[in-house]
Amino acid sequence: MQQLIFARPPVPGEVKTRLAAFLGPEAATDLYRAMLEDVLSVFSPPSPEFRSSAMGGAIQLSIYLAEEDSTGFFADRFPGLPIYLQSGQDLGMRMAGAFLESFRRWPGQRILLTGSDIPSYHPDVAREASEQLRQFDCVLIPTRDGGYCTIGFSDTHLPEAEFRNLFANIRWSTPVVMQEQLQRLMDANLSVGILAPLDDLDEAPDLFRILQGRTKSGTGLRTSSLLQKLPKCAALIPVLNEVENLEFVLRPLQELCLFNYIVCADNGSADGSPEKARELGALVSHCQRRGYGSTCLAGMGLLHSYPDWEILVFMDGDGSDDPEDLWSVLGPLFSGEADLCLGARTQGALLPHQKFGNWLATFLIRLLYKYRYRDLGPFRAIRRDALQALEMDDPDFGWTVQMQIRAVQRGLRICEVEVKSRKRHAGRSKVSATIKGSFLAGWIILRTVFREFLLNKKESRV
């Protein structure tokens, strides 16, 4: 049996580009290199005897590279491994070309082609796929994102043009790849065996699904070691009578497998919010003094006793923050570009008086502190050490603006990313829904802007 692996030389900026947007090019390349070493190592055991006995039959491995290996990675780590260059104008034609070459090189053999970003792919899986080719013309192993990671054929008797057409004009890197490939095979009257899906490691959510053990995919030692080094996250959600919203807010966060801890910071709810939060698996802190900042400080106090988190995410408890935006908010911290990342609500459900309040406050910050913010939204992520350095103490609605001002004063690396602002899931806002609440919150925010400015001037004179 022949196992072909499609791969790229591990060059920063050219591999795992979607992961690189989250981890940074160097870290994404390190992870890709680790996956390559893990997968290739299990297919390249040290002796022919191992290949035959431990795997239930020899598996001959070949690498098909997208370009010449200028890094020397494959020659250094896997000397003697057959390496060929892919050829063709797109992925489909490169795959077809690799199969046609292999049919000529190894006539009559079963041939599998697999991508290089499947941490759980190992000889037992390959052998199971190969066995399917005893009764089917083709075998596919799907991935959970709508694509597939492995395709295999026993030597086909299709004319070359018809075989190439099996891979032509498929919309690669979309959720319909598996569906379109399967249809193309069936249109050619080929029988297809389909194995259980595997998880690829291609985007940020994949990292945490694998890390938290929420996937059947295993990982090799090198890949596991790098995943374990990723920063650990916690979430803090201020809550005041949000029992109708908690399941809507908490369930998606838990499904992401992203957070070691989710704290619902309760501010004296009378509707059963603390009990509901515990029922849903969240930690609960308590603060009887009414105030957004006081509530956050109580939640931070609870989290302080847990050492295993490095990044804290603040989100609202009304469902207005979209969990899909978490990856954008967290990316600059995971890549090492920022200490604080703010979600700027440039689209969505902000009311006119909220937009005006944001504009006025950010204008004053620009005037007094020479830093341009776009928003004071509560959706934000900050590194633990950076949060401690801010010495937050505002007990009320000045909390968010105090954090942003002190971040400038302390020289933190700050960035803003665009996020959506949804309408609250249920219930009525305690602040923005009333003129009195909005005016009071706005007054407190403006007071905090000037208070922090005067405090900074006083400290600079000491």
The pLDDT, as a whole number, for residue 47 is: 40
Q: Mark whether 236 and 218 lie in a shared domain.
A: no
Say whether both 396 and 420 belong to one domain.
yes
User: In the predicted model, is pLDDT for residue 280 greater than 60?
Assistant: yes
**Residues 211 and 253 occupy one common structural domain:** no
Domain boundary among 203, 222, 241: 222
- Please check the confidence at residue 255 and state whether its pLDDT lies above 80: yes
% the chain with pLDDT above 70: 89
Whether residues 251 and 296 share a domain: the answer is yes
| Residues 426, 429, 435, 438, Cα dihedral to 10° | -140
DSSP, collapsed to helix, strand or coil, labels residue 283 as strand
| Total of domains in the chain | 2
Do 77 and 41 lie in one domain? The reply is yes
CB half-sphere exposure, 212, CA atoms < 13 A: 17
Residues 239 and 384 in one domain: yes
- Per-residue confidence (pLDDT) for residue 221, from 0 to 100: 75
Q: Do 98 and 190 share a domain, yes or no?
A: yes
Say yes or no: 178 and 283 in one domain.
no
DSSP string, 350-404: --HHHHHHHHHHHHHHHHHH----S---S-EEEEHHHHHHHT----STTHHHHHH
What is the rounded CA–CA span in Å between residue 128 and residue 150? Answer: 12
Give the tens place of pLDDT for each residue, 158-209. Answer: 899 999 999 998 999 899 999 999 999 999 999 999 999 998 888 898 888 8
Predicted pLDDT at 106 = 92
> What pLDDT is recorded for position 429?
63
Report the DSSP pairing between strands 233-239 and 311-314: parallel
Nearest to residue 42, comparing CAs of 66, 78, 11, 10? Answer: 78
Domain that holds residue 346: 231-461
Residue 305 and residue 227 in contact, taking contact as beta carbons nearer than 8 Å: no
Of 181, 204, 222, at which residue does a domain stop? 222
- Cα 451 to Cα 440: distance, rounded to the nearest angstrom: 16
- 123 and 94 in contact (C-beta within 8 Å)? no
Are 299 and 243 within one domain?
yes
For residue 103, give Cα distances in angstroms to 19, 110, 193, 370: 34, 9, 20, 66
> Residue 462: what pLDDT?
47
Mean pLDDT of 335-347: 91
Q: Could you tell me if 324 and 404 lie in one domain?
A: yes
Taking each continuous run of H as one helix and of E as one strand, the counts in the chain are 18, 14
Compute φ and ψ for 138, nearest 5 degrees. -145, 155
Quote the DSSP letter at residue 348. E
Residue by residue, DSSP assigns 289-335 as: S--HHHHHHHHHHHHHT--S-SEEEE--SSS-B-GGGHHHHHHHHHT
pLDDT beyond 80 at 48: no
Q: What is the pLDDT of residues 51-83, one digit of tens each?
A: 433 444 588 999 999 999 988 999 898 888 999
| Mean of the per-residue pLDDT values of the chain | 88
pLDDT of residue 232: 94
Residue 227 has pLDDT above 60, yes or no: yes
Same domain, 164 and 273: no
Binned at pLDDT 50, 70 and 90, residue 127 comes out as very high
For position 425, which CATH number holds? 3.90.550.10
Distance between CA atoms of 174 and 12, rounded to whole angstroms? 23
Q: Within a 10 A sphere around the Cβ of 204, how many other Cβ atoms?
A: 20
**Domain termination site, one of 166, 190, 222:** 222
Evaluate if residue 16 carries a pLDDT over 50: yes
Angle, alpha carbons 445-397-366 (nearest 5°)? 30
- What is the mean pLDDT of the segment spanning 46-50? 42
pLDDT range class, residue 346, cuts 50, 70, 90: confident
* 207 and 353 in a common domain: no
